[in-house]
Amino acid sequence: DWTMGAYREEAIRLIREQVGDKQVICGLSGGVDSSVAAALLHEAVGDQLTCVFVDHGLLRQNEAEEVVTMFRDHMNLHVIHAEEQELFLGELEGVSDPETKRKIIGKLFIDVFQKYANGIDGAEFLAQGTLYPDVIESVSFSGGPSVTIKSHHNVGGLPEKMGLKLVEPLRELFKDEVRVLGAELGLPPSFIGRHPFPGPGLAIRCPGEITRAKLDILRKADAVYIDQIRKHGLYDDIWQAFVAILPVRTVGVMGDGRTYDYACALRAVTSVDGMTADYYPFSHDFLGETATRIINEVPGINRVTYDITSKPPGTIEWE
Rule CB under 6 A: choose which of 30, 198, 201, 207 binds ligand XMP.
198
Asked if 315 touches ligand XMP (CB under 6 A), the answer is: yes
Q: Which of residues 48-87 bind ligand XMP (CB under 6 A)?
A: none
- Tell me how far CA of residue 84 lies from CA of 57, 116, 154, 185, 213, in angstroms: 7, 12, 18, 30, 18
CB burial class (10 A; 0-12, 13-18, 19+) of residue 81? Answer: middle
Least Å distance between CB 154 and ligand XMP? 5
Cβ partners under 8 Å of residue 227, min gap 6: none
Alpha-carbon distance 94 to 89, whole Å?
A: 10
DSSP 8-state symbol, 59: P
Least Å distance between CB 150 and ligand XMP? 5
DSSP 8-state symbol, 277: B
- Tell me how far CA of residue 295 lies from CA of 1, 150, 225, 298, in angstroms: 53, 32, 11, 6
Compute the radius of gyration of the chain from its Cα atoms.
20
Asked if 274 touches ligand XMP (CB under 6 A), the answer is: yes
Rule CB under 6 A: choose which of 57, 169, 182, 199 binds ligand XMP.
199
Name the segment binding ligand XMP (CB under 6 A); options: 48-56, 180-188, 205-213, 308-316.
308-316
DSSP 8-state symbol, 239: S
**For the window 117-156, what string marks contact with ligand XMP as x by the rule CB under 6 A?**
---------------------------------x-xxx--
Cβ proximity to ligand XMP: between 124 and 317 the closer is: 317
Asked if 240 touches ligand XMP (CB under 6 A), the answer is: yes
Least Å distance between CB 259 and ligand XMP? 31
- Residues forming contacts to ligand XMP in the complex (CB under 6 A) are 150, 152-154, 196, 198-200, 240, 274, 311, 315-317
